[in-house]
Structure 1
Amino acid sequence: MHRLAVILSGAFALACIPSAYAQNGAVQVKIGSVSPLSGTGAHQGKDIENGARMAIDELNAKGAPVGGKKVHWVLQPEDDGADPKLGTAAAQKLVDAGVAAVVGHLNSGTTVPASKIYASAGIPQISPAATTPLYTHQGYKTAFRVVANDNLVGRSLAAYSIGTLKAKKIAVIDDRTAFGQGLADEFVKGVKAAGGAEIVSRQFTSDKATDFNAILTQIRARKPDVIFYGGMDAVAGPMLKQMKALGIGAKMVSGDGICSEKLPQLAGDALGDDHVICVVAGGIDGPQEAAYAAFAERYRQRYKMVLQTYAPYAYDAVMTFATAMQQAGSTDPNAFLPALARVRYQGITGAIAFDARGDLLNAALTLYTYRKGQKVKLQVVR
């Protein structure tokens, strides 16, 4: 019994050691990663986890110290299922686990409610994907993002639709999520501000819908040149198939939610060439193109698949956290949060710095189309 008591006592003592310290004497720093790892958006969510893990492993391989101390970087991924309730539960789990920072979430609808939990705990959060302006307009000093917000995305897509695609009649569909509806609203504002085109139909679906014949039949009667869709690729793919079946020749224009490598599989031969225009928040051009291509190849070799959309942004988010910690000389969120607010980091996705709200300064966008089943860059918009 005495020996058992000693063992239990030792186990208890080990359990009480703060998680900030690894057994080898290095400071252990946990970075949370939250995204949908289940459901229709799992491929995009896993892309975020994979990108974050690449950064964590690179930091460990380099032996990146903080404040002169050796650090062991740890990633703690959580699944939010693209559901606000699961998102807040995952956020609380990460807070309870003592993470120093969080990369996430993907969907605007999960990012906003989760941000309140991180703000209350004083834990910095960088979203690699959420674009709703509301996220950074709540006044939380802990909320940042490394993508452009819907205001810029909507205006840019509206300008491209009217100026380059010469659209006169535009139909709008959104999936009623915070992301999809928010992006569609900003697109409509952009169209009205630009002038020269008419919104001939505004329709709604859901992020889990598979049958769009009713709304597409109504849209077909309006003969639009462009159909704007606010939502994700899991819905856009089947929608494109049904557009083709109904003989709708309008181009589809959308944001980064559909701008994935999986869209060709989801849409099949309905994708066509130059039929879909989408945008990804970030501007990769000139010398950066080689660095981005090298990252994509490292990703492919490691995971035996092509990156979807958000992996580079998740990677940059982790590296931005690490840079702020190193500049502050501390892994304590209270200490490195001010450094994060004024950080300057040259990432895979471009130059990263934040404005007073936590939005990306001088945000750029990259417009893409698809040709022969491959995503092709059209231009960088700044």
Structure 2
Amino acid sequence: MPSKFIMAPLALAALLCASDAALAQEQAVKIGVTGPLSGANAFAGKDNENGVRLAVEELNAQKIKVAGKTLRFELQSEDDAGDPKQGVTVAQKLVDGGIKFVLGPYNSGVAIPASRVYNDAGALMSTVGTNPKITQSGYKGVFRIVASDSQVGGAMANYAARELKLKNVGVIDDRTAFGTGIATEFKRQAQAAGMKVAGHEFTNDKASDFAAILTALRAKKVDAIFFGGYAPQAAPMVRQMKALGLNVPLLGGDTLCSPEMAKLGGAAVGENVRCAQAGAIIAKQPAGPAFLAKYKERFKREPDVYAPSFYDQTMFIAAAMKAANSLDPAAVGQQLRSSSHQGVVGSYGYDDKGNLKKTAVTVYTFKNGALAPLASY
């Protein structure tokens, strides 16, 4: 009997030693996510987070080794509410917590000031913010993982001129860094394509009544309106256009290419809405259908606009860690710039400023409440 009780603690000690040895062979890697988890664009922030979460879960199952240790990825998601001030606070919190790899922000207006915090801390920031200013700072740790406003706005301007053959357009922007940036690019390239911009009106990203500015554009007999802003404003805008008898297309960027647009706009959202989104048509990419199925199985919903891009960039960062055999952000960043990665939504490769060297832009409309691709550029 005595030996039985003596062996138990010895066996436990051996088990603990084995467990400690296993932990010693693991290396925790924290991945930060920042985006709007509250407010009107919370649907997008959660979608982005889901894309990173799916990648992290798959990477942990793969048991990637760097410098002889198996990486264990840990996700820390923070709500920046789409607000520049809160975004800077969140950025400081993440870097103070030792996080060196951040996915986000979603909003250009948050990404621009937050990028300095990440740069000063030596962290990498991978954003879907499209304002060109984001990558004009010279920060080596900043990566834009989708097309910029100049690319998306230009694609929509080309589509409007060539396919819709528009002559007289109106422009509205919500005065955010994103809205102003993409509206400015559309306006510039629309004029270069021979279109007249009859009026440029302004609103904000909290507005819900657009009657006055829509009436002003109706008086100018515009044959389309381009809106630089987000789905929570675009959906009521298109409903009010119909109510005012302004039966012309509503054009926009990637933020209108969201299931939320159809959800909020209802029957008013159909083929009258045209939006341009960075990336190829995911369902037609080799790995696209498998990703869509995995996402739906894991989160019980379809992905929104940027979940695939956040998934791809997380996978690219992990591949860069392995190739560099290092977790040093500078080494990983250099690897990101000197290599390429085939993701589920396209190919990733960055120039010296952190912009994608090449990216497709796809124009979509809505049919029966779902996105339907029209053309890729």
Q: The TM-score by the shorter chain falls in which range?
A: over 0.9
Q: CA RMSD in A?
A: 1.5
- Out of 364, 368, 371, the position equivalent to 2:360 is 364
Q: CA deviation at 1:366?
A: 1.1
Number of residue pairs matched by the alignment = 357
Contact kept? 1:320, 1:343, Cα under 8 Å: no
Question: Which residue in 2 is equivalent to 1:6?
Answer: none
Deviation at 1:258, TM superposition (A): 1.2
Query: Does residue 218 of structure 2 align to residue 208 of structure 1?
Result: no
2:302 to 306, 309, 319: 306
Residue of 372, 378, 382 corresponding to 2:374 = 378
1:218-241 deviation digits (Å, cap 9, x = unpaired): 111112111000011011001011
Q: Which moves more between the two structures, 75-84 or 297-306? A: 297-306
SS for the counterpart of 2:64 is coil
Aligned-pair distance for 1:358?
Answer: 0.5
Any gaps of 5 or more consecutive residues in structure 2?
A: 1-20
* 1:131 aligns to 2:130 (yes or no): yes
* 1:189 counterpart residue number: 188
Counterpart of 1:85 in structure 2 is 85
Residue number in structure 1 paired with 2:219: 221
**Which runs of no fewer than 5 residues in structure 1 stay unpaired?**
1-20
Partner amino acid for 1:211? D
Amino acid at match of 1:324: A
Q: TM-score, normalised by structure 1?
A: 0.91
Q: Is the 8 A contact 2:282 2:344 kept in 1?
A: no
Query: Deviation digits for residues 122-170 of structure 1, max 9, x if unmatched?
Result: 111111x210110001110011111011111111111111111111110
What displacement does 1:23 show? 4.2
Give the conservation status (yes or no) of the 8 Å contact 2:36–2:42. yes
- Do the aligned residues in 2 keep the contact of 1:56 with 1:75 (CA within 8 Å)? yes
Deviation at 1:22, TM superposition (A): 9.2
Which residue matches 2:160?
161
Q: How many Å apart are 1:24 and its aligned residue?
A: 5.6
Taking the aligned partners of 2:303 and 2:347, their CA distance within structure 1 comes to: 21
Amino acid paired to 2:61: A
Q: Aligned to 1:256, which of 254, 257, 273?
A: 254
Query: Are the structure 2 counterparts of residues 210 and 285 from structure 1 closer, same or farther at C-alpha, using a change threshold of 3 Å?
Result: closer
Percent of aligned pairs sharing the same letter:
45
- Is the aligned partner of 1:150 residue 2:149? yes
| Matches of 1:241 and 1:300, distance apart in 2 | 30
* Secondary structure at the counterpart of residue 202 of structure 1: strand
**For the residues of structure 1 that align with 2:215 and 2:328, how far apart are their CA atoms?**
56
What's the counterpart of residue 70 of structure 1?
70
8 Å contact 1:285–1:380 — kept in the other structure? no
Q: Distance in 2 between matches of 1:256 and 1:223?
A: 26
Matching residue of 1:3:
none
Once the two structures are superposed, residues 270-319 of structure 1 have per-residue CA deviations (whole angstroms, 9 ceiling, x without a partner) of: 113x2111011112379x52421221121111111111111001101111
Aligned to 2:272: 275
Return the match for 2:293 from 293, 297, 308: 297
Alpha-carbon offset, residue 100 of structure 1:
2.5
Q: Answer whether contact 1:22 1:28 (CA < 8 A) is retained.
A: no
SS of residue paired to 2:347: strand
2:286/2:344 contact within 8 Å kept = no
Q: Is the 8 A contact 1:171 1:227 kept in 2?
A: yes
Q: Determine the C-alpha separation between the residues in 2 that align with 1:162 and 1:141.
A: 37
For 1:60 and 1:280, locate their aligned partners in 2 and report how far apart those are by CA, in whole Å: 30
